[in-house]
Amino acid sequence: MVNVETEIKLRALIEQLNAYIEQYHGGSVEIESFDGKVLKVRLGGACLGCPLLPSTLHGWVEGTVRQFFPEIERVESVT
């Protein structure tokens, strides 16, 4: 079961990441699902087809999320 407070804070963090990605890179990131251990996100906009998508997903999105939520085991991208 997902802690409601954690999910609210996680959604706020993803919204901040999305605003930055959208403004400076033309891409987007949004939460698709979260089960308490695995966060699934959808990358869009300029991120689609970009060769740096894996770096953005794992190095930036996952790195930032795990910095604030170390209990999250991994972040995955869905299509």
Residue 1 in this model has a pLDDT that exceeds 90: no
Count of structural domains, the chain: 1
Per-residue pLDDT at 2: 78
Structure tokens at 48: 């689609």
Question: Could you read off the pLDDT of 19-55 as tens digits, one per residue?
Answer: 999 998 999 999 999 999 999 999 999 999 899 999 9
- Strand arrangement of the beta sheet that strand 38-45 belongs to: 27-34, 38-45, 74-77
Q: What is the CATH number of the domain that holds 64?
A: 3.30.300.130
Q: Which residues of 54-79 are buried (b: 16+ CB within 10 A; e: fewer)?
A: eebbeeebbebbeeeeeebeebebee
Domain of 20, in residue numbers: 4-77
- The proportion of the chain whose per-residue pLDDT surpasses 70, expressed as a percent, equals 99
